[in-house]
Homo-oligomer: A and B are copies of this chain.
């Protein structure tokens, strides 16, 4: 799956991930109205609106990007109906040949991590038959519990040729409270990153490991250091756009080969029609605004990478 991700990045020339994190407040009125008319003002109605909104965006941008990253919390909040919309979204993205990074930030120990891994990346058995449940291609994972929490995910990834992005340095303002604490003279996240590189050595593609890391766009200095400490680790970079990151800040997350990082934008893509810059797109044409936002983001990042050369 890391091969597919890299191939698609090369083909689209876009190291860009669209974060499918739909809030109801992002969804244009005409979609909400239709879903509520059909299913009532219910969890089913809300989940249908989420799915219809996603579908519009996916249809509009799938040829431009290698991957999407649905944030499961935005679906899970609507309970079972929301989880169905999550599953529909994953399946539909696969129909469009997109790589799906499940932003699930799970993490537990032993058989519990194994259960998360089976449900999201692998297979489960019922009697004599096996099934894939949510079936993402990559999943984000929280490292706080150490190797016991990560290894069961890696075991499933090896079997399924799938991958992970493990939280190293997150993009939010308070990420430093624990992640930046100095230990042995260095911030904790450096140790986590070195551990990610170590874990990743178990499951290598050609030039990059299937086991990646998350390093936020809002901490470019950390990106520079982590690029050096984890040369074969793909870095998933959240925090572009709405959270403040710009293409020029991100060049050091990439290796000299122009690979090694993939930048996520959520609100900046899926709710682009709400930004001043794209206000000429009407809410009815929200998906066209998303397409323009992807093109602009790709140009911004590629421009910055070209300038580095």
Q: Are B109 and A79 in contact (CB under 8 A)?
A: no
Q: Are A145 and B129 in contact (CB under 8 A)?
A: no
Partner of A173, one of B105, B116, B133, B148: B148
Q: Are B84 and A147 in contact (CB under 8 A)?
A: no
A73 located at the interface, meaning its Cβ lies under 8 Å from any Cβ of chain B in the complex:
yes
How distant is A94 from chain B, measured CB to nearest CB, in Å? 15
Copies in the complex: 2
Q: Are A79 and B134 in contact (CB under 8 A)?
A: yes
A233 located at the interface, meaning its Cβ lies under 8 Å from any Cβ of chain B in the complex:
no
Q: Are B83 and A80 in contact (CB under 8 A)?
A: yes
Partner of A23, one of B111, B131, B171, B172: B111
Q: Are A172 and B79 in contact (CB under 8 A)?
A: no
Contact string against B for A residues 108-119, beta-carbon threshold 8 Å, 1 for contact and 0 otherwise: 111111011011
What residues on B are CB-neighbors of A174 within 8 Å? 145-149
Q: Are B43 and A126 in contact (CB under 8 A)?
A: yes
Q: Are B131 and A42 in contact (CB under 8 A)?
A: yes
- Choose among A82, A133, A192 the residue with the greatest number of B CB atoms under 10 Å from its CB: A133
What residues on B are CB-neighbors of A41 within 8 Å? 126-129
A108–B55 alpha-carbon span in the complex (Å): 25
A200 located at the interface, meaning its Cβ lies under 8 Å from any Cβ of chain B in the complex:
no
A143–B188 alpha-carbon span in the complex (Å): 14
Q: Are B149 and A178 in contact (CB under 8 A)?
A: no
Q: Are B87 and A79 in contact (CB under 8 A)?
A: yes
Name which of A60-68, A157-165, A179-187, A220-228 contacts chain B: A179-187
How distant is A85 from chain B, measured CB to nearest CB, in Å? 10
Q: How many A residues are at the interface, by size bracket?
A: 35 or more
Q: Are B80 and A87 in contact (CB under 8 A)?
A: yes
Q: Are A118 and B177 in contact (CB under 8 A)?
A: no
Partner of A181, one of B74, B108, B126, B183: B183
What residues on B are CB-neighbors of A179 within 8 Å? 144, 146
Contact string against B for A residues 76-115, beta-carbon threshold 8 Å, 1 for contact and 0 otherwise: 1111101110010000000000000000011111111101
Nearest residue, chain B, Cβ from A129: B41
What residues on B are CB-neighbors of A77 within 8 Å? 115-116, 118-119, 124, 133
Which residues of A are interface residues toward B (Cβ below 8 A)?
Answer: 21, 23-24, 32, 36, 41-43, 45-46, 71, 73-74, 76-80, 82-84, 87, 105-113, 115-116, 118-120, 124-129, 131, 133-134, 142-149, 167, 170-179, 181-184, 188, 191-192, 195
Q: Which 9 A-B pairs have the closest CB atoms?
A: A79-B133, A41-B127, A146-B174, A146-B177, A77-B119, A46-B126, A73-B115, A109-B172, A77-B115
Given contacts A143-B144, A178-B188, list 13 more A-B pairs with CB under 8 A.
Answer: A41-B127, A43-B124, A45-B127, A79-B131, A79-B134, A110-B172, A142-B142, A144-B170, A147-B177, A178-B192, A181-B181, A181-B183, A181-B188
